[in-house]
Amino acid sequence: MSEHHESLDGGTPSSRPDPLVTLRRLRQRRPSVHAITNLVAMGLTANGLLAIGAASPVLSGDPAEAAELTRRTHALLLNLGTPDPAWIPGMRVAAVAARAAGHPIVLDPVGVGMSSLRAGLAQELITDGVTLIKGNASEIRYLADGSGAGGIEAEAVTSVPSLVRRLAVRVGGVVVATGPVDYISDGHRTLSVHAGHPRQADVTGMGCLAGALIAACCAVDPPLEACASALALFGAAAEVAARATPGPGSFAVALLDALAALPQAPGDPADRIHTEPV
């Protein structure tokens, strides 16, 4: 492996994201994600990235090697699901290296409102600069205005498109709130993605995998379009897996097969992406 990988971003913004084009770029270029992520979700994250066609991810948060690992990969995922004290310094080091290399940084502020540690670390990383923030509606509301529980269980949240738009403007990046409908905004343009299956909520780590897929797509396309494409592809695969299985255990395995089989899913995933009114 070479000492440094240049960014793979070769996409250009378009009026309508095309998930199949993003998928083709991803499989051609095989970006590698440095994922400092939830310890519970590491296996699912790595296997999901491989299934969709990305390269093997790097899953270390050791600060002694974080900068070097980040330089050798193409995108950085920082997931706060299990904020190990030994790895928090690695997140900081990796973020500095990613910004220096021009690599996209995806922050998944899992349970941001559940402890001062998570809230403080998320705010520090956001202030220093991230490309995209991905959370459930409860986590995004907490980051946007400090209200609600900001927990891992999504609460009923109203005006989600407005929340993601306001937070995107404030942080100067892209924000996505995942849920039955995913809402994504860069502060100027807001998209919604209507895809997926309720069984995704029955398997630990599905949201973590979504963040990893978004990071991989951000390595080959601009972040707004990349995020919409990643979620449309993920949702389409989840629907295929749910139809083929009776419960959450078999669903998790079938999802990997469905990701690998993309684009073999009914319909065009681009049809799941809509532009929201301003």
Whether the predicted pLDDT of 108 surpasses 90: yes
pLDDT band at 152 (very low <50, low <70, confident <90, very high): low
pTM score of the predicted model: 0.93
Delimit the domains of the chain by residue range.
19-275
- Residue 258's nearest CA partner among 234, 229, 230 is 234
Structure tokens at 69: 């690992």
- Please state the rounded mean pLDDT for residues 106-133: 96
Q: ω before 180 within 30° of 0 (cis)? A: no
Domain 19-275 sits in CATH at: 3.40.1190.20
List of residues 6+ apart from 162 with CB closer than 8 A:
none
Residue 221 DSSP one-character state: S
- Which pLDDT value is given to residue 150? 65
Check if the beta carbon of residue 55 is closer than 8 Å to that of residue 31: yes
Task: Indicate if the alpha-carbon torsion angle 3, 28, 74, 63 is positive or negative.
Answer: negative
Residue 198, φ and ψ in degrees, nearest 5:
-55, -25
Mean of per-residue pLDDT scores for the chain: 91
Tens-digit pLDDT profile for residues 220-232: 999 999 999 999 9
Count helices and strands (H / E) in the chain. Answer: 10, 8
pLDDT band at 158 (very low <50, low <70, confident <90, very high): confident
Whether the predicted pLDDT of 18 surpasses 80: yes
Tens-digit pLDDT profile for residues 60-79: 999 999 999 999 999 999 99
CA-CA distance, 174 to 185, in Å (whole number)? 6
